[in-house]
Amino acid sequence: MKALYSLLSIVCMLLTGMWSYAQETASILDDVPPQYKKSSPIYLLSDYQLNNTDTIPDFAEKPNKLKISGTIYESDGVTPAKDVVLFIFQPDENGDYKMKRDSNRKRYVHHRGWIKTDADGKYTFYTFMPGKYLGAKELKQIHRIVKVPGQPEQGLSSFFFNDDPLIPELTLSCRAEAVKSMLRLEMKDGMLIANKDITLKKGVDILAQ
């Protein structure tokens, strides 16, 4: 029982934890101080190469293909947010974070992707269902970082999944947090489909709905 409580406490912390790098403001990705690029993987790709759709590496070969789409809104929840960068990364179907090295020998998670919203605020990722992290009991998840023009990058709570078998073991408060970023999956034409909108708050705080 003590082990279960410890597990639930850790999961709850993961659900509510937010990555924040509060340094001087900058434009989207390129016009940033050097310490920004060291602190977050979102800066490993120029925003000039981005559009509102991206495909995670190995998508074509992976089982349980998944399409995640939605709209990013300004704080009023109505106005689409333009030029927002959303970065995701995830383990593979076995729960392993496959690592590679770039030309500078810097390690990175292979299964990752970026989008930048157009005027309509819409985004789409083509990816696959992640497995649970090897050797750990935690919810299946896809990690997210968002970058709004003129603000530091912010970590959002991960995408979780409504069919995860660990959800019934969560406390009510942790479950309520998980629901805020939970993907509800539907099967369509042989692919899992999920829609999730994101509403930005004013200032540096960002809320995923």
Mind listing the domains of the chain with CATH numbers?
2-207 (2.60.130.10)
Predicted confidence at residue 24, as pLDDT, reads 27
Separation between Cα atoms, residue 184 and residue 188, nearest integer Å: 13
Q: Is the separation of the CB atoms in 88 and 125 below 8 Å?
A: yes
Which pLDDT tens digits describe the chain residue by residue (209 residues)? 444 344 444 445 444 443 332 222 223 334 333 443 445 788 877 777 899 999 999 999 999 999 999 999 999 999 999 999 999 999 999 999 999 988 878 888 999 999 999 999 999 999 999 998 766 778 999 999 999 998 889 999 999 999 999 998 889 999 999 999 999 999 999 999 999 999 998 764 455 45
Q: Give CA–CA dist 94/129, Å, rounded.
A: 10
Distances (CA, A) of 129 to 61, 73, 126, 151: 12, 25, 10, 31
Name the maximum alpha-carbon separation found in the chain. Answer: 51
CA distance linking residue 148 with residue 88, whole number of Å: 15
* DSSP-assigned letter for residue 52: S
Lookup: tokens for 79: 């106005």
